[in-house]
Structure formats: structure tokens, C-alpha cells
Structure 1
Amino acid sequence: MKVSRAALVLCFVVATISPWSMAENHSTAVANRRPLGKKRHGCVAYNPIDKCWRCDRNWANNRQRLADCAMGFGHEARGGKMGRIYVVTDSSDRNVINPKPGTLRHAILLPEPLWIIFSRNMIISLRQELIFTSDKTIDGRGFDIHVAGGSGFMLQFVHNVIIHGLHMYDIAEGSGGMIRSKHDHVGMRGRSDGDAICVFKSSQVWIDHCSFANSYDGLIDIIAASTNVTISNCHFVKHDKALLFGASEKTPEDKVMKVTIAYNHFGKGLTQRLPAVRFGFVHVVNNGYTEWKSYAIGGGDGATIISQGNEFMAANGAAKEVTKRERVPESIWRKWTWRSEGDLLLNGAYFRQSGNPNWAKTYKGHPLIPALPAIDVPLLTKFVGASLHCKAGAPC
């Protein structure tokens, strides 16, 4: 049965009043910050990732071209570009041991590269965490795809994954039990943490144009020596501890971690961890921060955080400092390289810098996205999130 947009909205209102339905309309919120002008020729893309694909009228006939548009540390993620297209026709998740063909779980466990798309609007409530295999793309373009009211995604010991165009919210813990983790393996799993997306000992991951709110634990965790990840064009609202990169001071293997956060909008109702980083290197470039209650960017254990061309708008009555260090003496954290370059700090926001101002010499040759002027962030982030309303035969 085809689900109308009106029916989807009704479902949200009736079933626990989703925080997503209460969240700000991100396009309107960003537009209100600065006049943006009108679209020309039906499509205007402002940041270089969107310019690569969004204004192509034939995107639906050439979906896998999206894989050529990744930038930053996750730029080599190709997902299922070399595989066939798999169409998800069934939104159910009744059997986590022998998934039904046509479901998202069945597709994600197949032992081959796949570009996974959808036949209609769907609300997918996962009974247990969805355990990925390598070389997969989930492409939600063309329909409203909501992963909500159930468990989230687990990317564990995999590589080469693209997740694009999904709404993810109201994510709960999974009870665990016998779950299929590969096409030829079923094993006992413990209780899942309740993250929307957990990246565990995995690499070459690109998360783009997704919308996140309200998970039991985190929105995105990147842990256990995962690396080469890009998070771009996403919209985050209504959550406490949003993005955790590096699980604890007891996991120094996270020193290999490299993450790019680019062109995202961090909206209302967020408290902290936007992100929080331990050990690794994180490049935060051209993002918009509307507000934060405790802090925006934090961490410890010698993490390197480079903030370039971001717009930080502090909220009235909330914390003004962008940064937060773990509780260590200043003599220690002064050695951590946390640099702010070209950021726009508004309404009393301030960034406490530390470490090596000549950090770029160390990272010469790394795939860092060049920062554009922070004053352009409302344009660069104008079309964040999953609500692009892509239609075949027209630009997104």
C-alpha cells in the first residue's frame, strides 16, 4: 500500500509525537538567518558535494554517480557502485535470522556490492540492530525513508559504505539474541547501545544528507580504530550526547581515526558532543551551529580538532564557549591542537584554542576539504538533511 505524506505526518503525531515532527524546519530556520535569494533554473547547489550531483535531472537513471562526489577523509567510499541495484519493497523487519527478500535487512546482508534503493515511502522499525556487510549503499532519494521507532545501524568490521537520504530518529536499544550478521552466519548478540549509527572497526564510510534526532544513546558513534569517515550535509536536532568519536581513554587505537564533518547544520535542542573526540583527528569545516546547551566541540586524550569556516551561534541563556576539554590540568590540554581558523563566532560564542598553530604542515597531502568563508555557511548548509524531495526527471 502506498503511504502518502499526509499519512506519514499523522503517524508521527499519533505515535509518541516524534521529536522530528516537533523539530525546526531546517530550510526555513537557515533561510531566516540571512537572505538567500531565489533559485535559478530550478536548482542551485552551493557546496562542492552538492554541486557534484544535485542539479542533474537524470540522477535517478545514474544513481551510482553519487559515489564519485564524496570528499574529505571518507572520499574513497564507493559503497555499492560496482554492484547491482537492489530495490527494497517491504518495510517490515519481522525475522532477524532469516530476513525476507525485499527487506532492507535482506539487502544489507547479501555478500556482494549493492546499491540499495526503495520502491515507495517507508517507515522502517528495526527489531534488532541492522548489521552491515561491506560494499553497500543505502540511497533514500526519491522517497521519504524513515528509520524510526526501533534499533539502529551497526557498521562493524566493514568498509566502503554510503548512507544517504534517511530520516533516523526515536532509535531504541535492541534486546539482543540470535541475529544474522552475514548471509552465512547467525550468532548471539548482546544488547545494542541504541545509537542511530555506530561505526566500529570500520573504514571508508560516507554519511550524507541524513536527518537525525533522539536516539537512546548517540546519533553517530565512531569507535574502535575506525577511520576515513565523512559526515556531510546532515541535520541534527533534539538530542543530548550527539556525536562520539573515540569511546574512552582506554582505547588508544583510536589514534588512527580521521573524520571530516562538513556542511552540516546542528540545530535546536542539542546539548553536547557536536562532536566529542578522543585521540583522533577531526576536521570540522563549514558547518552551522545554531545553539548548544553545554558545549559544541569537546574531547580529550590528545585529540586534534581543526575548526575552519564554521558559524557558531551561541544561544541566549546557554553556554557561550564552543569548546570543552576533559578534566585535566591546563599544562596538559595546552598541548592538544585545537585550532579555530576563519570561524564566525556570534552572540558571545568563543573558541579556546590550544596547541600547534602550524598544524597544517603535519597534515599536508591529507584529503582536507578547503574551507569557504564562514559568512557563506547559511548558503552552504541551506539544503541539509533528507528532505530534498527528489523526483525522477528533475533536479533534487
Structure 2
Amino acid sequence: MAATCATGMEAYDPNPENATRKFNQHVHLALKKSSEEIRGLVDGDNGDDGGNSTGRRILRGKHKKYKGPCMATNPIDACWRCRDNWAENRKKLANCVVGFGHKTEGGKDGDYYVVTDDSDDDVLNPKPGTLRWAMIRDEPLWIIFARDMHIKLSHELIMQSKKTIDGRGANVHIAYGAGITIQFVQDVIIHGIHVHHILPSKGAVIRDSMDHYGQRTMGDGDGINIFGSTNIWLDHISMSECQDGLIDAIQGSTAITISNCHFTHHNDVTVTFNHFGKELIQRMPRCRLGFFHVVNNDYTHWKMYALGGSMHPTIISQGNRFVAPEDNDAKEVTNRNYAPESEWSKWIWRSEGDLLLNGARFRTSGPLVSPHYDFTKMEMIDAKPATFVGKLTKFAGALECKKGSPC
């Protein structure tokens, strides 16, 4: 616990604006480099004119697949996608994270481990070949899958530090059982899987490392629970219908990037190049204390509000597209909790270059100028960044990747 706290302090950035500036610079450079391609997508016939287009993702099953050439439409994807040999150099992915979680390396320094068994029958002494067996190893591991799998976790999946779950090349679902717990660890990457229909799990004696096991209480039903952990990157995950939260990051967790994810059918979701889709109600994210950079996300549905906060958080919303619901009582993007207006009016909540559609309203607050909030033109996203949101989030969610072909 003490070691975890020390690591958390190392990962903590006392000047979070620096990470924001670096992130915006990555986006600016990526957009500048591919300006002709971007212009074609924004002005072309892709059904993405700043409105509410639903045909933007190359997800399995429910959505019409994009059939054109491979396109890496944001700086994270441009780092690794659209290469025939991506499967021969999987660990290149670890060099691609930006934002607050930019130091995350996952299992980059470890061996590959191939999951060959989709069972989860023994949480005290997991079988070799299972996902659980790999996650409790002490050493770094880059975990991949031998084939398509539907894994029903009998109890929460607990892990050690320096792990990567890489679902590329297989159709991997964690579903209809318990969720994933990232607790008091560092350096975790989860990429390219589906997490859905997660249910509360009963308490049990569960092994959480090679030399330790203990009694765990009942799981809440979170899809992914991040608790007291640092340097975490969640990328290209499709998530829906979890009993509690889709993603919860609590108890001093810091240095986290959540990118290229697709969220649907839920109440609480916790933020770049993500698409927040159908049947979401509120808290996308809900922010408590801290500094939150919400950039280039696509909010096409909500039922109560999109961004919420309490206890004096700072929220910088840049280049997001907010499409309000038809309900006139739910047009407001923001919601402040547990504070009178005399208090929350001092919180710094900024909307910069956001696209507000169908009557969406963003209520800003706080002083007009922050002493540390000074971006140059190079560090900022382009003047009308929200017009690119459809492109930047076009391939949010788990991708369909095949070895030997661009992903």
C-alpha cells in the first residue's frame, strides 16, 4: 500500500496543464500531417457533417462496416495502425499513449503470453493457459489470445502490475460474469476487447498474486474498476450494460488515459477520441476533485446530462461534439453536485471549440483567466476542432484486426 502511494505521487503531475498542452500538440500535429485526408472526410460524402452520424465505427456486428482503405484518424491510432505487420510488433502499441497516462508501458518489457483456455473455474489456483493465470504473475507480460473467446469470469479478475491485455487479432468478450479490477498496481494497458453484461459477483477467496490470496467481498458489477492505481491506459474497448459502472477510477488513481472507446447502454461512464452512444444517462464523466481534460469526444446521446462534478474539479472541455436529446429539460451538458451556486461558480469549467447541437447548452464557470492555462497556437487544437470529432472517433471501440492486414 505504501509503495503504491509512493508510485502514485511519482505519477501525479502538479501542473496538469502541461499534459493538456502536450496532448493538444499531438492532435495538432496529427491533423496537420493528414490535412488532405481530413478535408476529404469532413467535406466528403461520409455522412459526417458535424451532425449525429451513426455509421462511423468499424465494430463487429451491429454497425455497418467501413469498407475503404485503412485510416488512422487520430494521433494514437496513427502511431500503430494501418501497417500489415502490426502483429509482428505488437509492443509498438505501448509507445502510442498520450495524455495523462503517457508513461504507461504495460507489459512491454515482458514475454508474450497466449491465452488458450477461456475457462475461469478456479480463482484460488488458476490453470495455466487462462487469462487469470497470467494476470497474477509477478513479471511483466504482454497477453494475447489464441482465438476468439467469450470469457465469463466467475469472480472479479485481479491483476499484478505491468500487464497488457491485447485483444487484437481475436474477438474477445468479457461478458455475463464479473468484471476487471485494477487495484493498487501500476502500468496496465487494456486494448481491443469487449466488456459487457457485467454482473455483481459473490465474495470469495481469490488469489491476487503468486504468493498471496485473500477474502474478497462482493463485487459491485463494474466493467473495469481502477482503485488506487497509476499509469493506466484503456484503448479501443467496447463497453455496455454493466450492473454498476462501466469504468470507475477512484481512491487516488491517477495518470490515466481512456481513449478510442465506445460506450453504450449505461448510466455511469468515466476521456479522448471516445464515442458515447445510445442509452447513456449521465456522468460521462462525473468528476470529483482533480483536473479533467475532456477532448474530442462524441456525445450523441444522454438522458440527464453529460459532464458532472463535485468538490471543486477543474474541467477543460475541448473540441467535443454534444448532441442534446429531444427532452427540453435535458439540454444542459453540465451538472454541478453537492454545492450551492456561490461555491460552484468558482470552479473552472471551460468549453473551448465544442460543437453544441440540437439545443445543447454548456454552462461555464470560474475565473475567465487561469494563471497556468496559457496555450500557444501550436499547442491548441485547430480553431474549429469539433468539426473533426466524427473523424477522430470514427473507429472508436474494439477493432476487427487480422494478422497480415492493416488493422
Pairwise TM-score range, normalised by the shorter structure = 0.7 to 0.9
Give the counterpart of 1:356 among 340, 344, 367. Answer: 367
User: 3-state DSSP class of the match of 1:78?
Assistant: coil
Alpha-carbon distance in 2 for matches of 1:183, 1:370: 46
> Residues 40-79 of structure 1 correspond to what in structure 2 (within 5 A)?
42-79=69-106
1:124 pairs with 2:151 = yes
Match of 1:377 in 2: 389
Whether contact under 8 Å (1:278, 1:301) holds in the other structure is yes
SS at match of 1:60: helix
Which of 282, 289, 305 matches 2:299?
289
Q: Counterpart of 1:169?
A: 196
| C-alpha spacing 1:200/1:31, structure 2 compared with 1 (3 Å) | closer
Q: 1:215 aligns to what?
A: 242
State the one-letter code of the partner of 1:242: V
* Matched ranges for 1:101-116 at <5 A: 101-116=128-143
Alignment of 1:274-313 (within 5 A): 274-313=284-323
Deviation track 1:251-284 (CA, whole Å, cap 9, x = no partner) reads xxxxxxxxxx100000010000100010111100
Counterpart-to-counterpart distance in 2, 1:181 and 1:327 = 36
How far did 1:357 drift?
A: 3.1
User: 2:297–2:393: 8 Å Cα contact kept in structure 1?
Assistant: yes
Task: After TM superposition, give the deviation of residue 158 of structure 1 in Å.
Answer: 0.2
Amino acid aligned to 1:66: L
Q: Deviations over 1:84-120 (max 9, x none)?
A: 0000000000000000000000001111000000000
Which gives a bigger RCO, structure 1 or 2 (Cα 8 Å, sep 6+)?
Answer: 2
Post-superposition Cα deviations, 1:174-206, rounded to whole Å, max 9, x if no partner, equal 101100011110101111111001111100000
TM-score normalised to the size of structure 1? 0.84
Amino acid of the residue matched to residue 389 of structure 2?
A: V
Is contact 1:88-1:117 (8 Å) kept? yes
Say which SS state the counterpart of residue 132 (structure 2) adopts: helix
Residue aligned with 1:307, SS: strand
Which residue of the partner structure matches residue 283 of structure 2? Answer: 273
Partner of 2:405: 394
How many angstroms does 1:356 deviate by?
A: 3.1
Amino acid corresponding to residue 389 of structure 1 in structure 2:
E
- What is the identity, as a one-letter code, of the residue corresponding to 2:157? L
Does residue 227 in structure 1 map to residue 254 in structure 2? yes
Equivalent of residue 54 in structure 2, options 4, 29, 36: 29
- Which aligned runs of 4 or more in structure 1 are off by greater than 2 angstroms? 356-359, 361-365, 368-372
Unaligned runs of 5+ residues in structure 1 are 1-26, 33-37, 244-260
Q: Secondary structure at the match of 1:236?
A: strand
Q: Deviations over 1:184-232 (max 9, x none)?
A: 1010111111100111110000000000101110000000001000000
Q: 3-state SS of the aligned residue for 1:229?
A: strand
Q: Secondary structure at the match of 1:62?
A: helix
Task: Specify the code of the residue in structure 2 equivalent to 1:374.
Answer: A
What's the counterpart of residue 344 of structure 2?
333
User: For residue 226 of structure 2, what is the aligned residue in structure 1?
Assistant: 199
Q: Give aligned pairs, total.
A: 343
Deviation at 1:369, TM superposition (A): 8.3
Q: Is the 8 Å Cα contact of residues 156 and 202 (structure 1) preserved in structure 2?
A: yes
Structure 2 match to 1:242: 269
Would the aligned equivalents of 2:56 and 2:395 in 1 still touch at CA under 8 Å?
Answer: no
Q: Give the aligned partner of residue 186 of structure 1.
A: 213
Name the TM-score, length of structure 2 as normaliser.
0.81
In 2, distance between residues paired with 1:123 and 1:363?
45
Q: Does 1:320 align with 2:347?
A: no
Amino acid at match of 1:61: E
Root-mean-square deviation (CA), in Å?
1.9
1:153 alignment counterpart: 180
CA distance in 2, matches of 1:344, 1:93: 45
Stretch moving more, 322-331 or 206-215: 322-331
Report if the CA contact (8 A) 1:88-1:119 is conserved.
Answer: yes
